[in-house]
Structure 1
Amino acid sequence: MLYIWMPETNGTWYWSAGENWFVAESLEQLIQDLQEHQGKETTVFFPSRNAQILQQTMMKAHYKQLGQEGIKYLLEEFVTLPIDQMKVVHHFQNDQLNILGVAQSSIETWQHALSLLPIQIVAFLPDFLMLPEPEQAEVVIANIYDHLLVRENLWSGNSVDDLGLFLEFQAPETQYKFANLNIQQLDSLATASSKDQRSEFSYQFQQLQRPRQHPFNVFPKAKNADVQWSGYWKAAAIVFIAVIFVQLTYDGLRWAKLKKVADQTAAQAIDQYKYWFGENSRVTEQNIKSQFESQLRMSQLGDTQALSLLSRVGPILMQKQILAQQVNYDASELTMSLKAKSSDDLQALTQQLNQQGFQAELGNVQADTVGAIGVVKVK
């Protein structure tokens, strides 16, 4: 099992094979570092401050009465987002209910950011779980690479900016177990506790047991559906197979025409690649996607807005058989120098982009011996 510790912003990444943490200064470096672990199952620790945790004593009968949906709404008054925009998980044992909620948008952002990693993610867990479990009436505090984490019990913890403020809300009799604190943090701890209440330990990351099954795992799970083969479903299957047969027959008639269009599109994509990145004898119709991705990673093309616009506008250019000679992205605006067969083609492209929800504007158009060159700006 691999472990990745995600930064709170665009900072340093950390990863571990189960013992020591290794540093990756950027996502690109992390991709390179993990190549030798390709396909390995991985647990990702996200910043605990992105989660809202609620602990509540509850009788088992009341817990069963609430059900899964009712438990979610216990968290509603503690979050700013509508509860249906939250991923809510929980654990119940010995009349103690522990609830954790994370914004669905945050989870989707993490999935997008990690999609290029050559590993298999099986769990998203809050990073306070990197600390050892505290004893009864004990709080564990550790400064790990200038990130201060606290763990108050088995199911509760957080990322902390101001240790002094955090300690003000702890019970007077609390015991503290700490590691790697700086001078200011040690002073705050000494002010809030007596010498007998605190003890130092040597922090060493310990692998989690079965992180995939952890109750606080918010990584989206694949849904399994058991199909009951009643008479209705058998009839539906027959109809479905008949529809597929008709569709295959229809597709066979269209195949020759579509293949010609596909070949033209692939040839244009290869020409566009060579225009942007130079002659490359290795680029083919089969590997052009991976070649584009490699070029994007090497150039650290990190602006997701620019990528989003390019991915949506690119297919339209290929459909119109229009070649992009120069592309520039600045201030949320994509500026392209395009070469088409005629100025009418550029005008039609601009109209189609506007119809599909873009804000497109056609600038100067100049005719040459084989067509027209114009500047199109897209937002």
Structure 2
Amino acid sequence: MLHVWFRGQQRPLAVWHLDERRWHLVDHWQQLFDIYGIHGAPNITLYFPSQHLLHVESSLTSAQIKQLGIGGQQYLFEELFLGSVEKLSVRQFGGEPTQLYAVDKNDIEAWQQSAALVGLNITAMLPDFLLLPIPEASSDAPELTAMTLYQDSVTTLSRQSDAQGLAVNFLPLLLSRLPSQTVIELLPAIDTDDGMASTQMQANTIALIKQQGFLVNLLPIYPEPVLIPERHALNFFAKKSQAVLSPYLKTAVMVALAAWVLQFATNGIELLRYQDAAAKTQSATAAQYQAWFPNEPLNPKGLLQTQLTPKLRQNSSDANAPVAVLSQVSPLIKQSSLTAQTLVLAPDALMLTLIAPDRSSLDGFISHLTTQGLSANLEQVNNTEQNQVLGHVRIIIVPSSADNLQVAPSRPALS
């Protein structure tokens, strides 16, 4: 695996040589592939400029940070990022207080495409402040605070602890914010090809540090790569297949899926109930039809209305026979000076309760009905408190066809 230090656009790339424990410069990506890709496309670990890194120190615990989810962690950088925070890739590093770092996903994609265009494959992507060694306070002077500093013609980096580091835009401003009891460990620049320019830059930096009243310790080692970059907490490279849904989207998908399953189950139950009701209705209809018409079975494939209509039309005249008789009886009641108290209409008979002044009026009414061809019986006669007679008359109707009525033999009246 190649360790490549990308210090900025239009700047030489640095490649780590483990045998020499130093960095070698190449002009661009194509030259990098031409030199190191002779045995196939090598996997590389890219150290990108820490200037692209956003940093937030949070008082929340690691468990609380995890509960925020990806969306909640992104919104912690809302005041630091001008674009949409949803475009940030966030990583958590260190213990309490928790250090959160974020990088724009567009920058990550741009670096990946630059390597892919020449046939290189990035497997890890870390900020370049991790190249600096972790500062360690001297056991002889525990009151002193250590900070690692690196500076060359392209970049300036500092590292305050294992989980804290940054790109330095203006070194005097950084020095003005450090505690007075600070030892600065200065690393040599990797682009020593500049000769006098690099030496003069280092001398100026040492003079500035001493002018601010800090101790300077020159380290004889260059910035070195991370031992296992793929497993580092600040590895911002992620394969597309490793992308996962946010907790909020997972919850929404699960709720929608549960609602769909519930609706599907409800529709299934309603369909079963409908089919059961339809079968029972069809069975009851067939049984009723058989009771009405025992000599003719119901055809299940035909329409019920089509099979019933001729039979209903055939019996319509018989159903109208009581109404026709009533139309004959009503004028006779008025002519006989009788008062109808109750009327019971049945398919085969009319039952009337009449109030008359005397028995002879009821007998005359019966005679008029007989003259009209109706079969009428005076079944019972009672006296009322008003010195009137209450008579119960039964007119029997036996239809023989659609237009004629057959009158049953009359029975003698009861007195």
Conserved 8 A contact 2:115-2:121: no
Cα distance in 2, alignment partners of residues 215 and 176 from structure 1:
26
For 2:7, give the aligned amino acid. Answer: P
- After the TM superposition, which of the residue ranges 155-164 and 2-11 deviates more from structure 2? 155-164
Partner of 2:165: 157
Partner of 2:45: 43
1:143 aligns with 2:163: no
Decide whether aligned partners of structure 1 residues 167 and 173 sit closer, same or farther in structure 2, where only a CA change above 3 A counts: same
Partner of 2:225: 207
State the 1:116 CA deviation: 2.8
SS at structure 2 position matched to 1:36 = coil
Cα distance in 1, alignment partners of residues 131 and 182 from structure 2:
21
Partner of 2:5: 5
SS at structure 1 position matched to 2:125 = strand
For 2:167, give the aligned amino acid. Answer: S
Q: Output aligned runs, 1:77-96, within 5 Å.
A: 77-91=79-93, 93=95, 95-96=96-97
Cα distance in 2, alignment partners of residues 33 and 22 from structure 1:
12
Q: Output aligned runs, 1:63-102, within 5 Å.
A: 63-91=65-93, 93=95, 95-102=96-103
Cα distance in 1, alignment partners of residues 122 and 32 from structure 2:
14
Partner of 2:120: 119
State the 1:146 CA deviation: 4.8
Conserved 8 A contact 2:7-2:154: no
Partner of 1:14: 14
For 1:58, give the aligned amino acid. Answer: L
Partner of 1:354: none
Conserved 8 A contact 1:88-1:100: yes
Q: Output aligned runs, 1:226-241, within 5 Å.
A: none
Decide whether aligned partners of structure 1 residues 169 and 37 sit closer, same or farther in structure 2, where only a CA change above 3 A counts: farther
Partner of 1:188: 208
Decide whether aligned partners of structure 1 residues 126 and 60 sit closer, same or farther in structure 2, where only a CA change above 3 A counts: closer
1:223 aligns with 2:233: no
> What is the identity percentage for the equivalent residue pairs of Structure 1 and Structure 2?
24
Cα distance per residue 1:288-309 (max 9 Å; x no partner): xxxxxxxxxxxxxxxxxxxxxx
Cα distance per residue 1:255-294 (max 9 Å; x no partner): xxxxxxxxxxxxxxxxxxxxxxxxxxxxxxxxxxxxxxxx
SS at structure 1 position matched to 2:14 = strand
Cα distance in 2, alignment partners of residues 86 and 59 from structure 1:
21
Cα distance in 1, alignment partners of residues 172 and 38 from structure 2:
42
**Total equivalences in the alignment:** 223
SS at structure 2 position matched to 1:109 = helix
For 1:110, give the aligned amino acid. Answer: W
Cα distance in 2, alignment partners of residues 118 and 216 from structure 1:
25
Q: Which runs of 5+ in 2 are unaligned?
A: 138-144, 189-200, 245-415
State the 1:37 CA deviation: 5.2
Cα distance in 1, alignment partners of residues 135 and 82 from structure 2:
30
1:170 aligns with 2:178: yes
The higher radius of gyration belongs to: 2
- Compute the RMSD of aligned alpha carbons: 2.4
Conserved 8 A contact 2:91-2:234: yes
Partner of 1:56: 58
Cα distance in 2, alignment partners of residues 71 and 154 from structure 1:
21
- After the TM superposition, which of the residue ranges 99-108 and 214-223 deviates more from structure 2? 214-223
Cα distance in 1, alignment partners of residues 242 and 55 from structure 2:
28
Decide whether aligned partners of structure 1 residues 87 and 37 sit closer, same or farther in structure 2, where only a CA change above 3 A counts: farther
